[in-house]
């Protein structure tokens, strides 16, 4: 059975443009499954735990997050 997960396009991701380098998509992840290790670093997803709510997709101003079917 196919499911969806959030994926980060690192070519589009611009955390330095987010306020204080804190990724808006990571902040929007209610389950905290998308995290930044440090400000100004791109976020990482916990793909196996992603609930495909797409809150992170909506929050990213650079369209760097998308939902992919796995």
Alpha-helical runs (H) found in 1-70:
24-28, 55-59
**Pick from 32, 21, 20: nearest CA to 56:** 32
Distance CA 1, CA 58 (A): 25
pLDDT, residue 1, reads: 67
* Digit-coded pLDDT (tens) for 13-28: 999 999 999 999 999 9
Per the structure, how many domains does the chain have?
Answer: 1
Low-confidence ranges of the chain (pLDDT < 70): 1
Residue 32 pairs in a beta bridge with: none
- Host domain of residue 22: 4-69
Whole-Å CA distances, 62 to 13, 16, 24, 56: 7, 12, 10, 11
Instruction: Find the CATH number of the domain harbouring 57.
Output: 3.30.70.20
């Amino acid at each position: 059975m196919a499911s969806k997960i959030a994926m980060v396009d690192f070519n589009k991701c611009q955390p330095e443009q987010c306020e204080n380098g804190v990724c808006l998509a990571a902040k929007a992840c209610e389950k905290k499954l998308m995290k930044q290790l440090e400000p100004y670093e791109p976020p990482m997803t916990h793909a196996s735990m992603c609930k495909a709510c797409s809150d992170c997709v909506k929050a990213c101003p650079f369209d760097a997050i998308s939902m992919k079917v796995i």
